[in-house]
Amino acid sequence: MTEMDRISISLPSKLLKEFDEIIAERGYASRSEAIRDAIRDYIIKHKWIHSLEGERAGSISVIYNHHASDVMEKITDIQHQYTDIIVATLHLHLDHEHCLETILVRGDAKKIRELTDRLTALKGVKQVKLSVMVPGGHIPE
């Protein structure tokens, strides 16, 4: 049997309620098993992002609470540090509290990964999704 460690986490009630509904819908035996699956997915995503190499083009989509302390200013400041790979940005107001920022990027995968990691770490950022492709000239015939 695999050795298990016990941890404690704090979650907003609404988030936990939604998670529990999904657990029931998917038929998990326990909340712990669902959390283990979520952590596995997180690790797989992290490894995939950090395995990217070479020239890439794609988008980084960021959903954030624009009422969070200076989050919009911090996102803009970070973007100004990556003007060599940022091609364009699109800003969308989702509701009274949340915005979606889509950043089109093209350049070295390492820099795209670095930008993605910095945005993900910001307080007030709810979700970050990276989608990358090999630019057209690099696709095998």
Strands (DSSP E) contained in 4-124 are 55-65, 86-93, 98-108
Q: Is 50 annotated as a binding residue?
A: no
For residue 55, give every residue at least 6 positions away whose Cβ sits within 8 Å of its Cβ, in sequence order, or none: 106, 107, 108, 109, 134, 135, 138
For residue 60, give every residue at least 6 positions away whose Cβ sits within 8 Å of its Cβ, in sequence order, or none: 102, 103, 105, 112, 115, 116, 119, 128, 129, 130, 131
Q: Is 66 annotated as a binding residue?
A: no
Q: Is 46 annotated as a binding residue?
A: no
Backbone angles phi, psi at 38, to 5 degrees: -65, -40
Task: Give me the amino acid identity at 61.
Answer: S
Q: Is 99 annotated as a binding residue?
A: yes
Binding residue numbers: 80, 91, 93, 99
Which residue numbers belong to the known binding site for Ni(2+)?
80, 91, 93, 99
